[in-house]
Structure formats: C-alpha cells, structure tokens
Structure 1
C-alpha cells in the first residue's frame, strides 16, 4: 500500500494546471495521473474542489475554512455554557 501525502492547495493547483496542459497536448487522464503520482479519484476530487482557482484563491479558501472552524468552536462552547447555566438555574446541581 502506498504512503499518503498531503498536498498544499498551491501544490494541488500547480498539479492541476500541469495535468490540464498534458491533457491539452493529447495525453489521456490515466497517463496524466500516473505522471502526477495521483489516483484518478484524487484528480476528480481536486478538479471539483479547486478547478478554476488560482493559488491566491486556494489560500483564501483555506483561511476561511480555518476561521469558520474557529467560529463553530466558539458557538459550541457558548451553547454548553448556556445549557450549564440553565441546569444551575433549575437547581439540578
């Protein structure tokens, strides 16, 4: 079984551009994927997620995803605090 590698969004976009260039030159997708060392499933997932993006766009997307996760954590913590205060208010402690 092969080792898993994580690619940065910039690396993914670079590989997508390189792959599109190879496909434009007449290569078939399985050949391109082999040359880029990614599976066809990975290629299709990357195209769906990053197709048409530039490196700056991908970096902004990652920053927004990180900020969204931070905000979701804050909301979850506040909900726990509210539930705790409701329990204390009811006298069930």
Structure 2
C-alpha cells in the first residue's frame, strides 16, 4: 500500500506537465533565432528541446577538444592560462 502512495505522490498532474512544457517552450524561444510565437504541440516542443540539448552537447565536445589541443600544444599565453583556470574552477 505504501508503494502505491509513493507512486501517486511522484506523478505530475496534467497542469504541472503543461506548465513545464510552457517553460521549455519559453526557454527555446529565448535561445532560438526565430521570433515565431505560434503555439506548438508538446511533442514538438520536447523534440526541439532534445535537439537543442544535443546541439549543446556537440558544442561542449568541440570546446573540450579545442581545450585539449590547446593544453597539449603548450602554446598558451598567461591570459589564456588564467581564463582556462577560471573556467575549470566552475
């Protein structure tokens, strides 16, 4: 019986899901180049969100590769070293 209660307690209501979808849509609008405000389905918003996350992951991978090459080359000036050090502390 307690497992049923915990399962119910962890479920989101439809309103909560709609609110989260709305927030995702607003975030995507903020980060996209388009100014289109037309209403989208939840499935399309989730798909765009997944695509945006994949794009960010590719950018992180590319930057990580560039950082590795920079560090391996040893051709780093003091300003670059300071920036890299501060970024790695985040």
Quickly name the TM-score band, shorter chain normalised: 0.3 to 0.5
TM-score norm. by structure 1 comes to 0.42
TM-score norm. by structure 2 comes to 0.43
Pair member with larger Rg: 1
Name which structure has the greater RCO, CA cutoff 8 Å, separation 6+: 1
